[in-house]
Structure 1
Amino acid sequence: MLLERLELFIALARERHFGRAAEACGITQPTLSSAIKQLESSLGIMLVKRGSRFGGLTPEGELVLGWAQRIVGDAVAMREEVKASRRGLSGRIRIAVIPTALAMVAELTTPFREKHPGVTFSILSRTSVEILSLVGNFDADIGITYLDNEPLGRVISVPLYLEQYHLVTSEGGPFADAEQVSWSEVANLPLCLLTPDMQNRRIIDQHLAEAGATVRPTLESNSMIVLFSHIVTGKWSSIMPGHLVRAFDLSRTIRTIPIVEPVANHIVGVVAAHRDPHTPLVAAFLSETLKLNNLRRTAEQP
């Protein structure tokens, strides 16, 4: 019973609304409110600021939330470990990924599923801020995001690859025949870029600002497909990681030109909640990530 109440409390803290939290848990709002009051009574403290609506957590509620997440996480890990000991790994891995890394997820999921055919995947495109929130609240098992640009908080991380930025333009487009181009030159082009809530966009804006340029994109989207579809018209260019074009085999219609002055590299990798033990699924996925990282390092050595 305590575990169920803690799970409901976590849902309320995540949704910050009694009605939405109750709906997410598949129960009525009075049932949720009663469970939270019972939890408060058993602990002898107020967890939630109450008024006409949800007013946030009390300081004691914030403290209990951290414990609740650890307790619920340990309970989930225990159940999955017992299940795995009986019949091998099974279940669903929830992976939240920044848009620029979506093309490489198959490099992880494909070999993992070959080893563990009872596992299924749920893969969602999210911003880096959303990914850290989802992982921290145990609403995602794995995140794939930037590791070296903005604070990650309390997570463990495994590097995957370096993201290097290129001007992406159509054949015959601006600078299509150039061997390299500067950030200041790129800033003057009609650009289509990811939206400002994406860390990729904040990184690009930062490098342009360091070059003394200000970007004013003529099109913004949170979809890489939208950006590619506009680039191939020949009327737009973009700034993207070079591996994206290679992943989609668009090299015949789209040119990628390295951006220099300076060359900008940022680390993309896997993150998971900082806890011990991890669920068997998460532990196995992190192990697979380490293997892929080691293989890449070996391949890059002269």
Structure 2
Amino acid sequence: MQLEDFKYFNELYIKKSFTKVAQYYGVSQPSISSALKRLENFFGMKLVIRGTAQSQLTFTPAGEQLYQHAIALLTEVSSAQHELNHLKTHMTTIGLPPILKGAYFAKIAVATKQFDQQFNINNMSIYESGSNNLKKALIDGDIDIALLGSLNQSQEKDLLIMPFIQSNFCVYISKKNDLAQKKEIFFSELKEQQFVSLDSSFIHNQAIREMSSQAGFRPNYFMKTNDINFLMNLVGENLGVAILTNIVKPTSSDIIVLPLLDKVQPSFIGSVAFRKNHVLTKEEEMLVETLSQET
């Protein structure tokens, strides 16, 4: 039994065709058949039932179960390969949402440098995206460690998630907006406003959905973006209001921040996360220690 056997088996489950799998991997069709036979011999069970034609395949309950385990196996192998490559190059890949990057990356770099004068910031590769994408990248082994934003402290099966900051969401609004005269605001007062928002890879979307559902209206979006600076420009030009965690600093004097008065509202939780089976490097341990001091 070989690792390729599981790769072929997974693709066979998806494509349901020996011919298509062989073409996909650039191997002969008998190679796919041999891989399946090795798996069936190893587990002592029939995994696939062939129909009257080569392309008609039915997976047995054992085959269905093996497919789930094969996904986990191949994911683990991929994660191991990424981690070993990073150790070889002495490179740590850290995932950062733009908001947490702006608020904490400089502090992390300075503190880590103080812990270890030999630390080289060039040994840290930055992968920037929204928290939803970063969580998937962590699980897949594409990054080693990440800062994540969330609305709760729920744990993931494969991840260790350690909260280090909790903050409120606020309304970011242009001074040109009629609502700018207020000191505080209820979310329901935004019903007639256009919204500008970070895109679906950010948890801010979920916060807006929860608050708008409680307020009984559907937000009217002018635009969604993954660029926080562009979003701030839109707010400053009074093209929409934004809901952001209050750790975000306005980029212009034309923008004011209004706290929300709603008694029931989500909180923004910043966490540092890594895979449970990931062995932290010295630099990563320093990063976790630095952030733990923020609480």
Fold conserved (TM > 0.5)? yes
Aligned residue in 2 for 1:274? 276
Aligned residue in 1 for 2:76? 70
Q: Distance in 2 between matches of 1:157 and 1:252?
A: 36
- Displacement, 1:267? 0.9
Q: Distance in 1 between matches of 2:26 and 2:107?
A: 43
Q: Distance in 1 between matches of 2:256 and 2:91?
A: 41
Aligned residue in 2 for 1:141? 144
Describe the shift of the 1:76–1:164 C-alpha distance in structure 2 as closer, same or farther (beyond 3 A): same
Aligned residue in 2 for 1:295? 293
Alignment of 1:41-56 (within 5 A): 41-44=37-40
Aligned residue in 1 for 2:209? 205
For this pair of structures, how many residues does the alignment match?
269
- Structure-2-length-normalised TM-score: 0.71
Q: CA RMSD in A?
A: 4.1
Describe the shift of the 1:33–1:192 C-alpha distance in structure 2 as closer, same or farther (beyond 3 A): farther
Alignment of 1:71-110 (within 5 A): 71=77, 73-74=79-80, 90-95=90-95, 97-107=96-106, 110=109
Alignment of 1:1-302 (within 5 A): 2=2, 5=4, 9=7, 29-30=25-26, 40-44=36-40, 58-71=64-77, 73-74=79-80, 90-95=90-95, 97-107=96-106, 110-111=109-110, 114=113, 115=116, 116-117=119-120, 119-126=123-130, 128=132, 130-149=133-152, 152-154=155-157, 155-196=159-200, 198-246=202-250, 250=251, 252-262=253-263, 264-275=266-277, 278-281=278-281, 284-285=283-284, 287-297=285-295
Helix, strand or coil: the match of 1:213? coil
Describe the shift of the 1:29–1:112 C-alpha distance in structure 2 as closer, same or farther (beyond 3 A): farther
- Displacement, 1:47? 8.4
- Displacement, 1:202? 1.6
Helix, strand or coil: the match of 2:219? coil
Helix, strand or coil: the match of 2:179? coil
- Displacement, 1:39? 5.5
- Displacement, 1:188? 2.5
- Structure-1-length-normalised TM-score: 0.70
Q: Distance in 1 between matches of 2:210 and 2:234?
A: 24
- Displacement, 1:183? 0.9
Q: Distance in 2 between matches of 1:80 and 1:29?
A: 27
Task: Tell which structure's C-alpha radius of gyration is larger.
Answer: 2
Q: Distance in 2 between matches of 1:144 and 1:94?
A: 8
1:132-170 C-alpha deviation (Å, 9 max, x unpaired): 322111122223323444865321012132232111112
**Do the aligned residues in 1 keep the contact of 2:82 with 2:141 (CA within 8 Å)?**
no
For residue 270 of structure 2, what is the amino acid of its counterpart?
A: V
**Do the aligned residues in 1 keep the contact of 2:170 with 2:260 (CA within 8 Å)?**
yes
**Do the aligned residues in 2 keep the contact of 1:78 with 1:279 (CA within 8 Å)?**
no
**Do the aligned residues in 1 keep the contact of 2:112 with 2:290 (CA within 8 Å)?**
no
1:15-50 C-alpha deviation (Å, 9 max, x unpaired): x78xxxxxxxxxx83159898766655433698999
- Displacement, 1:203? 1.3
Aligned residue in 1 for 2:20? none
1:55-114 C-alpha deviation (Å, 9 max, x unpaired): 998430221332343355456656766x5xxxxx8224142x445434235246524773
Structure 2 gap segments, 5+ residues each: 16-23
Helix, strand or coil: the match of 2:193? coil
**Do the aligned residues in 2 keep the contact of 1:102 with 1:125 (CA within 8 Å)?**
no
Helix, strand or coil: the match of 1:9? helix
Aligned residue in 2 for 1:300? none
Q: Distance in 1 between matches of 2:102 and 2:28?
A: 40
Q: Distance in 2 between matches of 1:215 and 1:156?
A: 34
Describe the shift of the 1:184–1:49 C-alpha distance in structure 2 as closer, same or farther (beyond 3 A): farther
- Displacement, 1:238? 1.5
Describe the shift of the 1:214–1:62 C-alpha distance in structure 2 as closer, same or farther (beyond 3 A): same
For residue 188 of structure 2, what is the amino acid of its counterpart?
A: S
